[in-house]
A = this chain, B = another copy of it.
Amino acid sequence: MKENQSYETTSKVSVAENKTLTKEQYRKKMQRRKEVQDQRIADASLEKGLIVVNTGNGKGKTTASLGMVLRSLGHGYKVAIIQFIKGAWEPSEKKAFSFWKDNGQLEFHAMGEGFSWETQDRDRDIEKAQAAWNKGLEYIRDPEYKLVLLDEINIAIKLGYLRVEEVLAGLEEKPERNHIILTGRGAPQSLIERADLVTEMSLIKHPFRDQAIKAQPGIEY
């Protein structure tokens, strides 16, 4: 918990500064900013499928991925989700996604057996992780699946259940326009280097740890 540290203020428009500008100065300033922004968008013209990594010890790695899954489904794309650690789909997520599961747009496979401290059998964990990866590869190779979410795969790599070299080689089999998301804390450096979009979610404050509040429906599951 880092309550007293101060946080980034990346905006170039400081509040105090804006308050001293006349309305016309403000308008001009914002106009210049819009020109820069428009140019930046115009310059970014390359269309390609992305390799996305959500890592870090904070919340939101899987949750943000589910948001991306939802957008892809909204676009009418086919999506596959492979869960490497969990052995079942959260009931609320299952219910929320049931429409797309039923209409054939979404494939879901929970191929883990809980976290490793639940199973206490390393050989079995390795076997499960390999099976999940093989299933993931099927979807990665299939051009129809515009988005493949490999949920918690980074943990499987980190625990030594999957070799990162094998995963990196598999990512190269992705059709040009398709996306892959890899989640889990402790993403290996070589994966970060290969990825196009990498976000680190950091925990600043957590009720579970700091205040003995239990996991809440609608937020954590």
A215–B44 contact, CB under 8 A?
yes
Chain B residues contacting A215 (CB-CB under 8 Å) are: 44
* With A116-B30, A192-B205, A213-B46: A94-B66 Cβ-Cβ less than 8 Å: no
Q: Which residue of B is nearest A186, CB measured?
A: B9
Q: Which of A36-56 contact B (CB under 8 A)?
A: 37, 41, 43-50, 52-56
Chain A 1-25 per-residue mask, 1 if CB under 8 angstroms from chain B, else 0: 0010011111101010011000100
Q: For residues 110 through 167 of chain A, which have their beta carbon under 8 Å from a beta carbon of chain B?
A: 115-123, 146-147, 155, 158-160
CA distance A23 to B62 in the complex (A): 31
- Mostly, the A contact residues are mixed
Tell me the count of chain A residues lying within 8 A, CB to CB, of chain B: 106
Q: Is the CB of A218 within 8 A of B159?
A: no
Q: Quick one: which of A71, A93, A205, A212 has the most chain B CB within 10 A?
A: A71
Contact A212-B116, Cβ < 8 Å, known A75-B217, A204-B199, A207-B197? no
Number of copies of chain A assembled together: 2
B52, A219: Cβ atoms closer than 8 Å:
yes
The reply to whether B8 and A216 form a contact with Cβ atoms under 8 Å apart is no
On chain B, the residues within 8 Å of A92 by CB distance are: 70-75
A173 on the interface (CB 8 Å rule)? no
**B residues in contact with A34, CB < 8 Å:** 117-118, 120
CB–CB A96/B71 < 8 A: yes
Contact B56 A202 (CB under 8 A): yes
Are the C-beta atoms of A205 and B213 separated by less than 8 Å?
no
On whether A159 and B192 interact (CB within 8 A), knowing A23-B122, A204-B200, A218-B147, the answer reads no
Report yes or no: A9 in contact with B158, Cβ–Cβ below 8 A.
Answer: yes
- State whether A26 touches B186 (Cβ < 8 A): no
A46 interface neighbour in B30, B54, B214, Cβ under 8 Å: B214
Q: Using A23-B121, A58-B199, A71-B219 as known contacts, list a sample of 7 further A-B pairs with CB atoms less than 8 Å apart, ordered by residue number in A.
A: A31-B120, A46-B214, A50-B219, A63-B68, A70-B93, A75-B92, A196-B211
